[in-house]
Each structure stands twice: as structure tokens, then as C-alpha cells.
Structure 1
Amino acid sequence: CRYSHISYNILCLIFFYDYSCAEVDSMTEAVAGEGFLLNCISCKKREEVSARATLDWHFKRPDDHEFTQIFHYKHPKAEVLHEDFSDRLQWQGTLNDDIQIGAVFIQNVTFNDSGTYRCTFSRTLLLPLQLENVVVEKEVELTVVAAANRELTAVISEIVMYVLIVVLQLWLILVMVYCYKKIWNEHEAREAKKALEAEGSLLESKDHCDGMQAE
């Protein structure tokens, strides 16, 4: 993962370990001149249900009265719809029709990027009997500052995130060891059973031969 942003690291955790979808809130403070990950996640309540979705981002500055659409994603095409964000928005969300992560990366953030961002998931659940349409909206209040202000909560969150990564890795190793031992024990049990069956067959054959000789 190339960005050091906390929420992007969490997204990387979701992408690469693929444990489950987690609705992580976006950070709300960006630094002028740097990049910023605008995060928006909407998890399906039932992962086993197939779905397809589109994602729209709208933006409203503090002095504006209405939102303006700035971005649209329908796999595999991403469209930047406002000239103020031309060549500055990159899709960093789900790379298939079943969109659950609708993140976009803003390059070269300016003070004019401060305001309210609204993401809208337009999702169609492909249920066996019928299709069901679901719309989910979330908002992010973004403030652009001249220099980063790392709050204590942000530092704690980052520490917890790395601890979580280590714990999940250890858990995965333990699961692999447990599964390996279980498979090995089952293999040993099967081999022992085969050996007993073979020994029983030999004894039965020997008894049969001894009986024939006695006659």
C-alpha cells in the first residue's frame, strides 16, 4: 500500500487479508498540497447475496447551497464530472460490480477542497425470487489545513491498527498449524486403520491355510 494514510492502511488490510467487510469511517482532515483518501464503505448485510452497484460522489463547499456531482463509478469505468477535480481523482475502491468500498484518492489537495462530500451507493441485490434496489448515502466533512495535526486519537488508532494486523497474522498462523495437525492426525488414523485391516486379512488367510493343511 503506497499511501501512509490511516484509513487507506485499513483498506489495504481489508483487500489483502479479505477477512470481512468493515465500515471504517473516513478521516476528515487533509493537508494542502498532499494527497488524501476520501473513504466510503457500505457493507452488504449478507455476503452470500450477489449484487451489483454504482457509486457517486457529490461535493458542497461551505458557501454552496446544493451538492454538485464530481465523480461516478460503474465498473470498470470511472468518470470525473467536475473540472475542479479534473485529473485529481483516482478510484481506490472495489474493482468489480459488487461495490462495497467506494474510496477515491484526491491528489494535490487545495483549500478549496474543504466542504461536505456525499457518497451514494446504488445497489441492486440479485435475490433468487426478485431484484431489490438499495440506496445508501454517507457524508464526510473535510477540512483542509496547512500542516498535519496528529491528534492523540489518530495515533492510538494507528497503533491499534498495526496491533490488529499482527494479531490477525498470528491467528492465521495458528489456524494453519491447527488444520495441518488435524489433517496429519486423520492421515495417521487412516494409515493405522489400513495396517490393522491388512494384518487382519493376513491372519485370516493364515488361519484358512492352517485349516486346509489339517484336513
Structure 2
Amino acid sequence: IRETLFYNIHGQTGCAEVDSMTEAVAGKGFLLVCISCKRREEVPGSAIVDWHYKAAGSDEFIHVSRVILWIRKLDQLDGRLEWKGTMGTKDVQIGSVFIHNVTYNDTGTYLCTFHRTLYLPLNEEHVVISKEVELTVVENANPELTAVISEIMMYVLIAVLQLWMIGVLIYCYRKIYAENEARETRKTKQTHLHP
């Protein structure tokens, strides 16, 4: 599943998708991200967002939330869901929900479904887009592999740059020293030629 980032360039909005997290820490909050970017921003539309949940080891999804006009109509997770999606418009593109106080029972598959209606000049087009999030709940947060690799690369890069800087300083010192020696040699030769 991916998260949407909206950015504004010269008054026009854009929609970009980034990967979402899938590991929650017990007792903390977790953002279940669901997005559906429209291919053509200029086409008006509306969307209803449904969230379903399937417990680990189960075969059936349970309907846990429905959002119409950014108002949650159903919450089967004991009031722990909070809408974090698009606000203030019926043309919802971000359908994210936040789970407060995550428990181990929240482990499982979450299915987010956008029921979008596009209002085209000649007719309406109905589009259904579904996305799944496999959520695992852990006791302590595990560092992301990319974060560990980034930290290692940072220290390696710092060490390499310091060695490079020392090499440049030694090279420059030797070059300046050699030029000074050559200048002194020329001065000595000139004083011997013109006593």
C-alpha cells in the first residue's frame, strides 16, 4: 500500500504515492494508509471509503469502517479509529485511518476499498479500487533496514571523506613545499650568476 503526498506547484495540486509502514507497536497508535490518486485531476468525482479487517488465520473480512464525505459511518474497533484522510471534499483521495492503542488482536489484513464516481461530460463512470495492508503488531519497534543501512553508509562516507581530506592536505602541502624549494633553488642560482 502507498501513502499519498500532495504538493502544490504554481496553484496546481499533484499526487504522489509512497510506501506505507506495516509494523505497529502494541499500545501505540498506527496509521493505516490507503490512497487512490485520480489519473485526471480535472475530472470531478466523489468517493466512499470502506475498511475491512481479516484476523490472522481467518478467511473472512469484517467491515470495520465506512467513510462518506469524511464522516465515519461505522467503527467496529471500539472507537479506536480516527479518520486521517482527505477532509473538506467529497472527492476523497487519501483514505487513511489511525488506530489508537494498537493491540495484538489488530494483527491481520486490512482491506481498503475506494468506490469512486467520476462525473464525465457524457456519463458517470464508477471505479472500485482495493488495497491491502498486512499489519503485524510487535512489542518493540524494530529499526527499518533502510535506516540501518543509511546510518552505516553515513559513517563510512564520513570516514572516507576525512581520509580524502587528509590526502588532499598532504598533497597540497607537498606541492607547496616543492614549489618553495624550487623558488629557493632559483634564487640561489640567480645570486651565484649575478654576484
- TM > 0.5: yes
* Matching of residue 93 in structure 1 with residue 91 in structure 2: no
Cα-Cα RMSD: 2.2
* Matching of residue 31 in structure 1 with residue 10 in structure 2: no
Deviation at 1:77, TM superposition (A): 1.7
Deviation at 1:155, TM superposition (A): 6.2
Deviations 1:13-53 (A, max 9, x none): 53788741112232100000000000011100101100000
Deviations 1:61-119 (A, max 9, x none): 1121110000000014212331xx12100000011100110000000000000000000
Of Structure 1 and Structure 2, which has the larger fraction of its residues in helix?
Answer: 1
Counterpart position of 2:64? 70
Higher Cα radius of gyration: 2
* Matching of residue 48 in structure 1 with residue 42 in structure 2: yes
Letter in 1 for 2:106: D
Cα distance in 1 for partners of 2:101, 2:49 equals 22
Structure 2 unpaired stretches of 5+: 151-195
Cα distance in 1 for partners of 2:127, 2:148 equals 36
Cα distance in 2 for partners of 1:52, 1:126 equals 8
Cα distance in 2 for partners of 1:73, 1:155 equals 37
Counterpart position of 1:190? none
Which portions of structure 1, spanning 4 or more consecutive aligned residues, are displaced by more than 3 angstroms? Answer: 15-19, 154-157
The SS at the match of 1:112 is helix
Change in CA separation of 1:151 and 1:118 when aligned onto 2, cut-off 3 Å: same
CA contact (8 A) 2:27 2:103 kept: yes
Of residues 92-101 and 13-22 in structure 1, the stretch that sits farther from structure 2 once superposed is: 13-22
